[in-house]
Every structure is written in C-alpha cells, then in structure tokens.
Amino acid sequence: ILNVEQSPQSLHVQEGDSTNFTCSFPSSNFYALHWYRWETAKSPEALFVMTLNGDEKKKGRISATLNTKEGYSYLYIKGSQPEDSATYLCAFPVPNTGNQFYFGTGTSLTVIP
C-alpha cells in the first residue's frame, strides 16, 4: 500500500478567494500524478496529468504544480466561484504495474457565495 495523502480534508472559502491544497506521494519511482475533480452526484473528471518535475499546468482558473523530488503537488484555484465546489482528488500510478493507482481521500471544497 502506498501513501497518497491530501490536505486539508475540507475547505470553506468565500466566493472570490483564491485557495490551494496539497497532494503528497512517494517520491521514489515516480511516473505521473493525476488530478481529478469530483462534483456531487457525478463521476470524477480529469483535470491534469503531470509527469515532469517542475511541471505547471493550467486550465482556466485552476492550475497545478509538481515537485517529484520532494513528493508533492499543489492545486490552486484563483478567484473561487460556487461552481468550483467539488472534491478534488489526486491519484498516483504505481510504477511497473500496468494500471494500478492509489487515490488520495480528496479535498472537499465549498465556495460560499
């Protein structure tokens, strides 16, 4: 079992605030790190797949950075909107297994109008 941890577990912010949360993962044998967004009553949807140390990806107001040497990734949301309310999951593929993944337990974000 690999340790993929996300913090904080939940977050409440006011509309317009910027926020960020963390995913930590094993730094040895890194292959990739995924971020997913999961809205209530829907299925998780991909945000980013990150593979290179120092990588930074952006999708609208959401961006993510990656530090493979220390084993963490940050997800940032700029100017949070109520529609950003969701659970954000990170997933770590286990090297040399073909398709085995470990997911973090997620950060639940609530944006208060």
Partner 1 sequence: EAQVTQNPRYLITVTGKKLTVTCSQNMNHEYMSWYRQDPGLGLRQIYYSMNVEVTDKGDVPEGYKVSRKEKRNFPLILESPSPNQTSLYFCASSYGMYGTIYFGEGSWLTVV
Shortest distance, CB of residue 51 to partner 1, whole angstroms? 9
Decide whether 12 or 31 has the Cβ nearer to partner 1: 31
Q: How many helices (H) and strands (E) are present in the chain, helices listed first?
A: 0, 11
Decide whether 59 or 79 has the Cβ nearer to partner 1: 59
Cis peptide bond prior to 8, omega within 30° of 0 = yes
Shortest distance, CB of residue 9 to partner 1, whole angstroms? 9
Decide whether 18 or 100 has the Cβ nearer to partner 1: 100
Decide whether 39 or 56 has the Cβ nearer to partner 1: 39
What contacts 24+ positions apart, CB below 8 Å, involve 6-10? 6/88, 6/89, 6/90, 6/104, 6/105, 6/106, 6/107, 7/107, 8/107, 9/105, 9/106, 9/107, 9/108, 10/107, 10/108, 10/109, 10/110
Shortest distance, CB of residue 52 to partner 1, whole angstroms? 14
Q: Which spans of this chain sit near partner 1 (rule: CB under 8 A)?
A: 1, 31-32, 34, 36, 42-46, 49, 89, 91, 93, 97-106
Shortest distance, CB of residue 87 to partner 1, whole angstroms? 10
